[in-house]
Amino acid sequence: MSEILGIHHITAIAGDPQSNLDFYAGVLGLRLVKLTVNFDDPGTYHLYYGDGTGNPGTILTFFPWPSAPRGRHGTGQVTETAFAIPGDAIPYWTARLAERHVPVEGPFDRLGEKVLSFSDPDGMKVELVAAKTAPDDRAWQAGPVPLEFAIRGFHSATLCETDHKGTAALLTTLGFKLVAQDGNRFRYAVDSGQPAALVDVLRAPEQRPGRVLVGTVHHIAWRTADDRQQGEWLKELTRLEYGVSPVMDRKYFHSIYFREPGNILFEIATDPPGFAVDEAPEKLGSHLVLPAWLEPERGRLESVLPRLQL
Nearer to Zn ion, 11 or 158 (CB): 11
Nearer to Zn ion, 55 or 162 (CB): 55
Of 18-26, 68-76, 89-97, 217-225, the window that binds Zn ion (rule: CB under 5 A) is 217-225
Of 194-202, 240-248, 261-269, 286-294, the window that binds Zn ion (rule: CB under 5 A) is 261-269
21 belongs to the binding site for Zn ion (CB under 5 A): no
Residue 213 contacts residue 68 (beta carbons within 8 Å): yes
265 belongs to the binding site for Zn ion (CB under 5 A): no
Residues in the interface with Zn ion (CB under 5 A) total: 3
Q: Which of 120, 200, 267, 271 binds Zn ion (CB under 5 A)?
A: 267
Q: How far is the CB of 255 from Zn ion (least distance, A)?
A: 6
Q: Which of 5, 6, 10, 11 binds Zn ion (CB under 5 A)?
A: 11
First-to-last C-alpha distance (Å) of the chain: 43
194 belongs to the binding site for Zn ion (CB under 5 A): no
221 belongs to the binding site for Zn ion (CB under 5 A): yes
Q: How far is the CB of 241 from Zn ion (least distance, A)?
A: 22
Q: How far is the CB of 16 from Zn ion (least distance, A)?
A: 21
Q: How far is the CB of 222 from Zn ion (least distance, A)?
A: 10
Nearest to 116 by CA among 131, 125, 105: 105
Per-residue contact string for residues 113-152; x = within reach of Zn ion by CB under 5 A: ----------------------------------------
Q: How far is the CB of 212 from Zn ion (least distance, A)?
A: 13
Residue 190 contacts residue 175 (beta carbons within 8 Å): yes
Q: How far is the CB of 279 from Zn ion (least distance, A)?
A: 19
| DSSP letter string, the chain | -----SEEEEEEEES-HHHHHIIIIIIS--EEEEEEEETTEEEEEEEEEESSS--TTSEEEEEE-TTSPB-B--BSEEEEEEEEE-TT-HHHHHHHHHHTT--EEEEEEETTEEEEEEE-TTS-EEEEEE-S---GGGS-TTSSS-TTT---SEEEEEEEES-SHHHHHHHHHTT-EEEEEETTEEEEE--SSSSS-EEEEEE-TTSPBPB-SBTSEEEEEEEESSHHHHHHHHHHHHHTT--PPPPEE-SSSEEEEEE-TTS-EEEEEES-S-GGGSS-GGGTTSSB---GGGGGGHHHHHHHSPP---
Nearest to 61 by CA among 9, 21, 121: 9
10 belongs to the binding site for Zn ion (CB under 5 A): no
Nearer to Zn ion, 11 or 224 (CB): 11
Nearer to Zn ion, 117 or 156 (CB): 156
Nearer to Zn ion, 149 or 222 (CB): 222
Of 42-50, 65-73, 264-272, 289-297, the window that binds Zn ion (rule: CB under 5 A) is 264-272
224 belongs to the binding site for Zn ion (CB under 5 A): no
Nearer to Zn ion, 11 or 229 (CB): 11
| Interacting residues with Zn ion (CB under 5 A) | 11, 221, 267
